[in-house]
Amino acid sequence: MAVDALDTRILRLLIEQPRTSVREYARILGVARGTLQARLDRLERDGVITGTGPALSPAALGHPVLAFVHLEVTQGHLDEVGDALAAVPEIIEVFSTTGGGDLLTRVVARDNGHLEDVIQQLIQLPGVVRTRTEVALRERVAHRVLPLVEAVGRAVGGAG
């Protein structure tokens, strides 16, 4: 999907001012509300905008420990293990990967003891052969997309 200069400006506003109204976005951008709404609808339809909810902090929800758990899975059981992982509330993301494991999970926990309990739960899932855990010590770069949006905008000769 091609993202042009106006799309880039829209996406920057959505990231920087997520609680602003569509009417106010249109005013800031100097475009008609209908034009802005059509652009937003297209960006959602094309999968560029994937959500509009608030970003939540697991740490503020009482789960300050973050770990990445790699799982090796018995061949042919990837979908079944993925479904089982979706039932564990402390798992906040799961990706299929190449390399040293089949699945990479992002796990949050109340403390190290709780993390161990979650890992033990994962090890017992049918189809899980082995796990390897890495505990995050400090976030160095928070999840972000704005620099990518700006780079894409520059590549199409637009926003900056």
With pLDDT > 70 as the criterion, what percentage of the chain qualifies?
97
Task: Enter the pTM of the model.
Answer: 0.84
What is the bridge-based pairing of β-strands 103-109 and 65-73? antiparallel
Q: Please tell me the distance from the alpha carbon of residue 95 to that of residue 98, in angstroms, as a whole number.
A: 10
**Given this model, what pLDDT does residue 1 score?**
63
Tokens representing residue 123 in the block: 């090890």
Q: Please tell me the distance from the alpha carbon of residue 26 to that of residue 35, in angstroms, as a whole number.
A: 8
Q: What is the pLDDT of residues 98-145, one digit of tens each?
A: 988 899 999 999 999 999 999 999 999 999 999 999 999 999 999 999
